[in-house]
Structure 1
Amino acid sequence: MTRIDAKFAALKSQGRKAFVSYIMAGDPDYDRSLDVMRGLPGAGVDIIELGLPFTDPMADGPTIQLAGQRALEGGMTLRRTLDMAQAFREEDDETPIVLMGYYNPIYSMGVDAFLKAAATAGIDGLIIVDLPPEEDEELCLPAQAAGLNFIRLATPTTDDKRLPRVASNTSGFVYYVSITGITGSAEAEAADVAPEVTRIQKASGLPVIVGFGVNTPEKSRAIAEVADGVVVGSAIVSRIAKGDSTQDVLAFVKSLADGAHAA
């Protein structure tokens, strides 16, 4: 059982929904992002999604694209991102960490070397948005053999014919992208999300966490009421971009987490 599996089991026993937060590793710099990351569990975050900066983030909107650029300009790399996770683990050996990004940096490092380094750093799961199920042998299957969850994205265009393929070899949870388009481009609507969550739960047998288009405590609660949890990224990253203090960023995160946990 991974930390992700254990977290969902604990939340289920408590009758609570999950709150997942996304931050970009190295944004605006290594020390600040590590400081924010260390404060997330105390702000109510159940699972941390740690963004891996990449030069061509095709699924991300301007907010996260710019965060990645700031991180890359500050010298952030895949190895430094894993160093950041390992530094977090020195103080927290319980909160799950999901590394979210694109395959190119992993391919460049080498899959075997990456998986060994990720396990050592305390990474629990991967979301690699540009590796479809047809490429499972590339990273998905080796990652699961190494004890990491491989988390897949489902979208409003994932029809009943495609869904079983998406669900195959997926573990930990399914990330439901609530809108068509890039991150930060529209708002999620609970009425639209609810039937899709039910459909994905039945097909996968896994918790379904909803992301994209969640940016307020009220929206966080509304989406969590119809899903197993909610993830917020762009709204948090935008606070960091504006120069909010770590304390203010974490206060905002707590308001979102409180919304999800009130569902």
Structure 2
Amino acid sequence: MTRIDRRFEKLRSEGRKAFVSYVMAGDPDYATSRDIVLGLPGAGVDVIELGLPFTDPMADGSTIQLAGQRALGSGQTLEKTLQIVRELRATDDETPVVMMGYYNPIYSRGVERFLAEAKEAGIDGLIVVDLPPEEDDELCIPAQKAGLNFIRLATPTTDDRRLPVVLQNTSGFVYYVSITGITGAAEAQADLVAPEVARIKAQTDLPVIVGFGIRTPETAEAIARIADGSVVGSAIVSEIAKGRPVAEVLDYVRALADGAHRA
């Protein structure tokens, strides 16, 4: 079992829903990003999604695109992203970390080398948004053999023919994208999401976590009530972009986590 598997098993046994947070590694700089990541577990985060900055983030809206630009501009690299995880693992060996990003930086490093380094650093899972299931031999299967979960996205356009293909080699959890389009767009609506979550859960025993369009504790709670948890990314990244002190960013995260945990 990975840390992700253990965390969701623990949450199930306690009758609790998950709160998952996304931040971009290196945004606005290495030290600030590291301090935020190290503070996330104490703010109530159950799973950390750590963005790997990339020059062409085609699935992301302007908020996360700009975060990636700030990170790259401050010198963030794949190696420095792994180092943030190593620093977290020095004090926290339980909170799962999922690296989220695009395939190019992984391909450039070499899949075998990347997976060995990711495992050594303490990464537990991957979300690679530009590798479809048809390319599972490229990274998904090797990652799972290396002991990392490979988390797949399902969307409102993933129909009943496509869904089994998406779920086939998915592990850890399923990330349901609540809206059609890029990150940071419209607000998630629990009444629209609920039947889609039920449709996915009818075909898998994996937890289904819902993200995109969650900005408030109230929405985090509403979404968590109809799923296994909620994900917030762009809203947190927006607080970082405003230059908020680390403590204020973590206070905002804590309020969102409290919302999800009320579900």
Give the TM interval when normalised to the shorter protein.
Answer: over 0.9
The one-letter code of the counterpart of 1:213 is: G
Aligned to 1:54: 54
Gaps in structure 2 of 5+ consecutive residues: none
User: Percent sequence identity over matched residues?
Assistant: 72
For residue 129 of structure 1, what is the amino acid of its counterpart? V
> How many angstroms apart in 2 are the aligned matches of 1:200 and 1:82?
32
Looking at structure 2, the residues matched to 114 and 202 of structure 1 have their Cα atoms a distance apart, in angstroms, of 34
CA contact (8 A) 1:151 1:170 kept: yes
What secondary structure, in the 3-state scheme, does the structure 1 residue paired with 2:66 have? Answer: helix
| Separation of aligned partners in 2, 1:86 and 1:145 | 21
Q: Give SS of 2:59's match.
A: coil
- What is aligned with 2:63? 63
Deviation at 1:202, TM superposition (A): 1.6
Q: TM-score, normalised to structure 2's length? A: 0.99
The 5 A counterparts of 1:11-90 are 11-90=11-90
- Preserved contact between residue 218 and residue 259 of structure 1 (Cα < 8 Å): yes
Question: Between Structure 1 and Structure 2, how many residues are aligned?
Answer: 263
For the residues of structure 2 that align with 1:142 and 1:78, how far apart are their CA atoms? 19
d(CA) in 2 for partners of 1:198 and 1:13? 21
> Hey, what's the Cα distance between the residues in 2 that align with 1:25 and 1:139?
21
Aligned to 1:111: 111
Q: Which residue of 2 aligns with 1:192?
A: 192
CA distance in 1, matches of 2:262, 2:178: 20
Residue 163 of structure 1 corresponds to: 163
The 3-state SS of whatever aligns with 1:205 is: coil
Partner Cα distance (1:118, 1:136) in 2: 18
Distance in 1, matches of 2:80 and 2:243, equals 22
**1:80-139 superposed Cα distances (whole Å, 9 cap, x missing partner):** 111111111111111000000000000000000000000000000000000000000000
1:204 alignment partner, SS class:
coil
The Cα shift of 1:190 comes to 0.2
Quote the Cα distance in structure 2 between the aligned partners of 1:117 and 1:129. Answer: 20
Taking the TM superposition and a 5 Å limit, the aligned residue runs for 1:88-99 are: 88-99=88-99
For 2:242, the equivalent position in structure 1 comes to 242
Match of residue 100 from structure 1 = 100
For 2:188 and 2:15, the matched residues in 1 are separated by 23
Contact 1:168 1:204 in 2 (8 A): no
Please state how far the C-alpha of 1:52 moved relative to its aligned partner. 0.2
Give 1:242 deviation, angstroms. Answer: 0.1
CA distance in 1, matches of 2:75, 2:201: 40
Shift of 1:205: 1.7
1:262 aligns with 2:244: no
- Residue correspondence of structure 1 range 150-229 to structure 2 within 5 A: 150-229=150-229
Contact 1:57 1:65 in 2 (8 A): yes
* Greater than 3 Å deviation, 4+ residue runs: none
Partner of 2:251: 251
Q: 1:78, 1:231 → 2: CA distance?
A: 23
SS at 1:243's partner residue? coil
